[in-house]
Amino acid sequence: MDTVNTQSIIDLIRKDAKDAADTIIAEAKDRAATISEHSASRIQQQVDEIRSQAAADADILEDRMHRLAELENRKLLVAQKRGLIDEAFHQAIAKLNALPTSEVSNVMLDLLTKHASGTEKLAAGSVNDGFFTEAFVDEANQRLTQAGKPGELTALVERVPGVCGLVLKDGHSQMHCTFSSLLEVKRESLEAQVVSILFA
């Protein structure tokens, strides 16, 4: 029996296998290149998106910081204005407390005539209390009598510290007729005028 020459068949099979392997490898390389290119494109897109978002976040943060700075500046300005207004009222009380004795006496007599029931005990403030004499109490009682009220006010020896004016004591209640209390009552209505003068 003749021997079949298989070498040519083996060579053909090897060639086909090599060609198939080369094709597979080439396709794999192409696919890898495509994937790599697509990945690089996606990575670059993500980087661009991150940078864009970071820039937007930075703008928002900068805007917030500006707003916070403006708010703090406004708070400081309001606090400074409030301090100036408080100082203006403080100076006003100081000037009222330093009025001549005769003027203090007239103001207090008017207040007593208007607000006293006529039977209270009177305690003068310790500031500028020269007006508070027996003659003053007598005058107050006379005015109350003329106004149809009992003229039975009595003077207390004690002084109310730190104020100029009178404190009317009736049982457990007290009425303050002092310059500081009067200005405090009027403060709300006067503040707008003070603001317009100070910050025109």
Give dist(CA 120, CA 101) in Å, integer.
22
Q: Is the per-residue pLDDT at 61 higher than 70?
A: yes
CA distances in angstroms from 175 to 65, 90, 96, listed in the order given: 51, 21, 19
Q: What is the pLDDT of residues 137-146, one digit of tens each?
A: 999 999 999 9
Which domains are present in the chain? 98-198 (3.30.2320.30)
Q: What is the pLDDT of residues 37-59, one digit of tens each?
A: 777 778 888 878 888 888 888 88
Give dist(CA 106, CA 140) in Å, integer.
10
Give me the mean pLDDT over the 63-87 stretch.
80
Q: Which residues contact 181 (CB under 8 A, 6 or more apart)?
A: 163, 165
What is residue 160's three-state secondary structure?
A: strand
Q: How confident is the model at residue 4, as a pLDDT?
A: 62
Q: Is the per-residue pLDDT at 103 higher than 80?
A: yes
Q: Which amino acid is at 51?
A: R
Instruction: Give the CA-trace dihedral at 91, 93, 96, 101, to 10 degrees.
Output: -120
Q: Is the per-residue pLDDT at 125 higher than 90?
A: yes
Q: How confident is the model at residue 13, as a pLDDT?
A: 79
Q: How confident is the model at residue 124, as a pLDDT?
A: 96
Give dist(CA 131, CA 110) in Å, integer.
13
Neighbours of 14 (CB within 10 A): 10
* Residue 120 pLDDT level (bands cut at 50, 70, 90): very high
- Are residues 116 and 144 in contact, defined by beta-carbon separation less than 8 angstroms? yes
- Are residues 178 and 166 in contact, defined by beta-carbon separation less than 8 angstroms? yes
Q: What is the mean pLDDT of the chain?
A: 85
